[in-house]
């Protein structure tokens, strides 16, 4: 490959200059300038040495193509930047960015240069106070053969490195100019049901790396359900399934996630979906007036049920250091019948005892949710619960600080999402019409396609296909794509990874950038294949 000439400011060739350790490359839009003139012949060398060096003209750069798309790019003229393997460096102006720098250096086959100023061919990472785009915003500038990434927080710097990594993927060039970028939504999640289906720790770690490169910042782990309890327990080892993650392995996953600025959000769903706990403690099983078992549901009038669940909440609140926690609260069997008081007289009696003669089973369930929130709240967690765990019209009201994880409008007494928003609640979008990947496609579920998400879903489309009013946009904190393993053997974990690949990319595109995408779906797929 011909070595590019060494350029001075403004693009002029510097005569007699010593070659730099990194080559300068054509602009990021793929259109390089014309080749420089051939060297003069011996006969004309004297005249040529007296002639001025020819200038080199670059086209105005195009915005980089990445997933998710960058929000703003100021074009410039210049050669852009490519990593020169083993020659360029990644340097930091702040020691706190050493981990981000080492990661990027390894990915781009550069050297980690420690603390110092960048020179031609290098990447410099720095924290910059006073930025107004939020902690996840960043600025990435490419100028004079150097890349500089600055942000008010380490997370923003990390996202800048993800953009650079994609810009130079497949031999491409990071375009000259300045990227100013920030997410539209603060919560960008992927939820994985590891209770119904055991996923290898290595597979989960691969998803963490994938999520990090796409600028997701949450990984939800639903690890307790009727089928299994999947994480080692010290307080109640009797409930743990044979195939499970040890706490040491969970800590490795958490460490990897932290390095990608991803918060792991655990969910111990209750008072339904507790079949694995009930198998070891059958006295906790909820039964109706005829003595029939309510699958997966504990009797919330039984104090021991609360004690065991609180033991688990406290144990795992210490294991998971992130600031978010999911309390579940969905699909409690006693509240999926038309007359809960008649069907579950034991619960009805307990509700009247706690809430007075007008107390109802829904009040008892709301009290359960609030009590579990009280258990976790001292650990400084931001709490959420499924929308069908919030009940209207009773004596008890769900705690005001609970976020609504809105997934469906098909439950008995279903409430439109705007009802929660009008009440001032914050909401995370899990819309089961678009964002639910349910193994085996039971009931009316169909595997979601990335194209449908890309072309017709936005964070304001919370229930069905109709968006809520734009006035509630700030209360919609983000969204989460979810894998549920109802028919666990329907797909292998490798098939799941392939099936969610494009839906994940489409989801984060709509959570990061609120604008209508400029690329067609086919162009987006082609880009995904390029920046993988």
**C-beta separation of 29 from 84 below 8 A:** no
- Give Cα 102 to chain centroid, integer Å: 22
DSSP 177-189: EEEEE--S-SEEE
Residue 131, pLDDT score: 61
Mean pLDDT of 325-337: 96
Q: Tokens at residue 323, please?
A: 């600031």
386-409 pLDDT per residue, tens: 999 999 889 999 999 999 999 998
Q: Tokens at residue 117, please?
A: 């100023």
For tokens 């005249």, what's the residue? 47
Instruction: List the strands of the sheet with 177-181, edge to edge.
Output: 72-75, 177-181, 138-143, 146-151, 123-127, 89-92, 111-115
How far is 270 from 368, CA to CA, in rounded Å?
9
Question: HEC profile for 92-134?
Answer: ECCHHHHHHHHHHHHHHCCEEEEECCCCCCCEEEEECCCCCCC
Radius of gyration, CA atoms only, the chain: 28
Query: What is the helix (H) or strand (E) element at residue 263, kind and residue range?
Result: strand 263-270
How much of the chain, in percent, has pLDDT values that exceed 90?
85
Backbone angles phi and psi of 53, in degrees to 5: -65, 140
Residue 471, pLDDT score: 98
| Mean pLDDT, rounded, of the chain | 90
Residue 33, pLDDT score: 37
**C-beta separation of 99 from 122 below 8 A:** no
Measure the CA angle with vertex 121, ends 115 and 127; round to 5°: 40
How far is 88 from 67, CA to CA, in rounded Å?
25
DSSP assignment letter at 358: T
Lowest mean pLDDT among 10-19, 211-220, 409-418: 10-19
Mean pLDDT of 467-473: 98
7-41 pLDDT per residue, tens: 333 333 333 333 333 333 333 443 333 333 334 43
The closest of 71, 247, 79 to 177, measured between CA atoms, is 79
Residues making up the chain, counted from first to last? 532
Mean pLDDT of 88-101: 97
How large is the greatest C-alpha to C-alpha distance in the chain, in angstroms?
Answer: 110
Mean pLDDT of 506-526: 98
**C-beta separation of 227 from 279 below 8 A:** no
Reported as a pLDDT band with limits 50, 70 and 90, residue 3 is very low
For tokens 């904190």, what's the residue? 477
The dihedral formed by the CA atoms of 92, 254, 497 and 209, expressed in degrees to the nearest 10: 10
Mean pLDDT of 92-115: 97
**C-beta separation of 364 from 350 below 8 A:** yes
Residue 485, pLDDT score: 98
Reported as a pLDDT band with limits 50, 70 and 90, residue 410 is confident
The closest of 103, 112, 209, 218 to 164, measured between CA atoms, is 103
Reported as a pLDDT band with limits 50, 70 and 90, residue 472 is very high
Angstrom distances, CA of residue 194 to CA of 266, 348, 488: 11, 34, 10
Cross-strand pairs, 231: 245
Mean pLDDT of 54-58: 68
Mean pLDDT of 442-469: 97
Residue 42, pLDDT score: 39
**C-beta separation of 190 from 218 below 8 A:** yes
Mean pLDDT of 303-325: 98
DSSP 47-104: HHHHSPPPB---PBPPPP--SSPPSEEEE-BS--B---TTT-EEEESSGGGHHHHHHH
How far is 449 from 23, CA to CA, in rounded Å?
42
DSSP assignment letter at 294: E
Backbone angles phi and psi of 266, in degrees to 5: -80, 150
How far is 180 from 509, CA to CA, in rounded Å?
16
Give 228 or 410, the one with higher predicted confidence.
228
DSSP assignment letter at 271: S
pTM, full prediction: 0.89
235-293 pLDDT per residue, tens: 999 999 999 999 999 999 999 999 999 999 999 999 999 999 999 999 999 999 999 99
140-187 pLDDT per residue, tens: 999 999 999 999 999 999 999 999 999 999 999 999 999 999 999 999
**C-beta separation of 481 from 434 below 8 A:** no
360-374 pLDDT per residue, tens: 999 999 999 999 999
111-128 pLDDT per residue, tens: 999 998 899 999 999 999
For the beta carbon of residue 90, count every other beta carbon within 10 angstroms.
Answer: 30
Residue 46 has pLDDT above 80, yes or no: no
Residue 532 has pLDDT above 90, yes or no: no
How far is 26 from 351, CA to CA, in rounded Å?
72
Q: Tokens at residue 375, please?
A: 């258990």
Residue 44, pLDDT score: 40
The closest of 88, 215, 225 to 160, measured between CA atoms, is 215
Mean pLDDT of 82-87: 90
How far is 111 from 121, CA to CA, in rounded Å?
11
How much of the chain, in percent, has pLDDT values that exceed 70?
89
């Amino acid at each position: 490959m011909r070595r590019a000439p060494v350029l001075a400011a403004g693009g002029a060739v510097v005569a007699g200059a010593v070659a730099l350790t990194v080559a300068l490359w054509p602009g990021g839009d793929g259109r390089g300038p014309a080749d420089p003139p051939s060297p003069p012949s011996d006969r004309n060398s004297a005249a040529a040495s007296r002639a001025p060096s020819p200038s080199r003209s670059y086209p105005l750069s195009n915005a980089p193509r990445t997933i998710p798309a960058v929000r703003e790019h100021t074009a410039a003229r210049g050669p852009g930047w490519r990593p020169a393997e083993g020659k360029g460096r990644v340097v930091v102006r702040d020691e706190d960015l050493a981990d981000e720098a080492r990661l990027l250096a390894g990915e781009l086959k550069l050297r980690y240069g420690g603390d110092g100023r960048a020179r031609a061919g290098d990447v410099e990472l720095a924290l910059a106070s006073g930025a107004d785009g939020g902690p996840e915003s960043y600025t990435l500038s490419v100028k004079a053969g150097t890349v500089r990434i600055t942000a008010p927080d380490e997370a923003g710097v990390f996202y800048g490195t993800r953009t650079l990594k994609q810009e130079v993927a497949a031999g491409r060039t990071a375009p000259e100019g300045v990227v100013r970028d920030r997410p539209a939504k603060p919560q960008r999640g992927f939820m994985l049901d590891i209770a119904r289906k055991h996923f290898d720790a290595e597979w989960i770690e691969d998803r963490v790396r994938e999520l990090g490169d796409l600028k997701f910042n949450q990984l939800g782990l639903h690890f307790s359900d009727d089928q299994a309890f999947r994480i080692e327990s010290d307080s109640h080892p009797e409930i743990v399934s044979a195939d499970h993650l040890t706490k040491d392995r969970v800590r490795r996953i958490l460490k990897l996630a932290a390095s990608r600025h991803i918060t792991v959000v655990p969910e111990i769903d209750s008072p339904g979906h507790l079949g694995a706990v009930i198998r070891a403690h059958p006295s906790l099983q909820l039964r109706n007036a005829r003595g029939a078992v309510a699958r997966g549901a504990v009797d919330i009038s039984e104090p021991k049920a609360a004690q065991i669940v609180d033991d688990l909440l406290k144990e795992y609140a210490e294991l998971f250091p992130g600031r978010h926690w999911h309390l579940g609260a969905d699909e409690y069997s006693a509240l999926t019948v038309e007359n809960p008081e008649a069907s579950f007289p034991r619960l009805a009696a307990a509700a009247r005892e706690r809430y007075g003669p007008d107390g109802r089973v829904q009040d008892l369930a709301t009290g359960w949710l609030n009590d579990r929130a009280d258990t976790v709240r001292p650990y400084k967690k931001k709490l959420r619960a499924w929308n069908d765990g919030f009940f209207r019209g009773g004596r008890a009201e769900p705690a005001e600080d609970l976020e609504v994880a809105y997934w469906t409008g098909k439950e008995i007494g279903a409430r439109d999402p705007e009802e929660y928003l009008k009440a001032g609640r914050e909401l995370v979008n899990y819309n089961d019409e678009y964002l639910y990947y349910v193994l085996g496609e039971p009931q009316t579920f169909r595997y979601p396609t990335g194209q449908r998400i890309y072309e017709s879903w936005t964070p304001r489309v919370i229930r069905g296909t109709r968006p809520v009013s734009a006035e509630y946009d700030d209360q919609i904190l983000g969204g989460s794509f979810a894998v549920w393993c109802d028919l666990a053997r329907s797909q292998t974990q490798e098939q799941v990874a392939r099936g969610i690949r494009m839906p994940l990319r489409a989801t984060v595109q709509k959570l990061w950038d609120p604008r209508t995408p400029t690329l067609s779906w086919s162009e987006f797929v082609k880009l995904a294949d390029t920046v993988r």
